[in-house]
Amino acid sequence: MTFPEAASYPWLDALTTVMSLVAMWLMARRRIESWVYWIIVDVIGIGLYFVKEVRFVALLYAILLALAIRGLIDWRKASAAHHQGWPQVVIP
């Protein structure tokens, strides 16, 4: 199969896809590291789509970055509360 135009950043695109799959796998297992993967994916996505001049998608990734940072902060607070012997906070 031949595409009319070569992909502009195939390795970065593949990297973000693989990292997203790993992040989903970690999140399904409720691992706090999943948020770090999401943050990295979002930072790469912002840069990638900004350079490709797809500004709306870059904005979407910026919003997702804010959500990932908030998720990491909330999960760290819940983890700290759990390890201090406080009642366990259930993370949905």
pLDDT truncated to tens, each residue of the chain (92 aa)? Answer: 665 667 788 899 999 999 999 999 999 999 999 999 999 999 999 999 999 999 999 999 999 999 999 999 999 988 877 666 655 555 65
Residues 6+ apart with CB under 8 A from 87: 81
DSSP assignment, residue 5?
S
Given this model, what pLDDT does residue 9 score?
87
Hey, what are 53's tokens? 């001049």
Given this model, what pLDDT does residue 56 score?
96
Given this model, what pLDDT does residue 4 score?
66
Q: Considering the entire predicted model, what is its pTM?
A: 0.81
